[in-house]
Amino acid sequence: MRPLQAQRIIYNFSIMFLCLDIKNMEHVAIMKKSWGFIEKILGGQKTIESRWYSLKSKPWDNIKGGEIIYFKNSGESINMKAEVSKVIQFTDLTPNKVKKILNKYGKAMGIESGKISEFFESFKDKKYCILIFIKNPREIKPFNINKKGFGMMSAWICVDNVDELKK
């Protein structure tokens, strides 16, 4: 074997090893209770969790299929979880692009057709959107978390293991 071939084999093996070593994260999504989305997820009317940002923020580039999201309403305990099936990220949004996303995915996002315009008003000036497709939602034994170190206003937390956050 020539030295260059050996270098390629070692390089390819290193890349494969790095790809296999990527660890799945666990996530906590804090929901706005008044929107009633946790009930819609459990009832199957909401199969996409969306996050809209002016600046990139978690879970942007920090979530992928196969990972787990734990859900809680603001001020309440975590009481359910679901698996991520896929993720789509949108950049450079304009009001027209926001409208297209809401029209295409709004129903799966749990937004009633008569409320699309209300959500459009909230999101029309955002520059980034992440759509997280979820499956297998299930209720779990409720538990509280400690958000210290993540910011009390955090609406999304990424950790190696959600047990790290349990109170």
- Between CA 137 and CA 29 the distance in angstroms is 13
For the segment 86-114, the average pLDDT, to the nearest whole number, is 97
**Could you identify the residue written with the tokens 């296999």?**
20
CA atoms within 13 A on the CB side of 88: 9
Residue in this structure with the two tokens 């955002």, named with its chain if needed: 126
pLDDT tens profile 124-156: 999 999 999 999 999 999 999 998 888 777 899
Q: What predicted TM-score, i.e. pTM, was given to this entire model?
A: 0.84
Task: Please tell me the predicted confidence (pLDDT) of residue 89.
Answer: 98
What domains are there in the chain, each with its CATH number? Answer: 23-165 (2.30.130.30)
Contacts of 30 (CB under 8 A, 6+ apart): 72, 73, 74, 154, 155, 156, 157
Residue 23 pLDDT level (bands cut at 50, 70, 90): confident
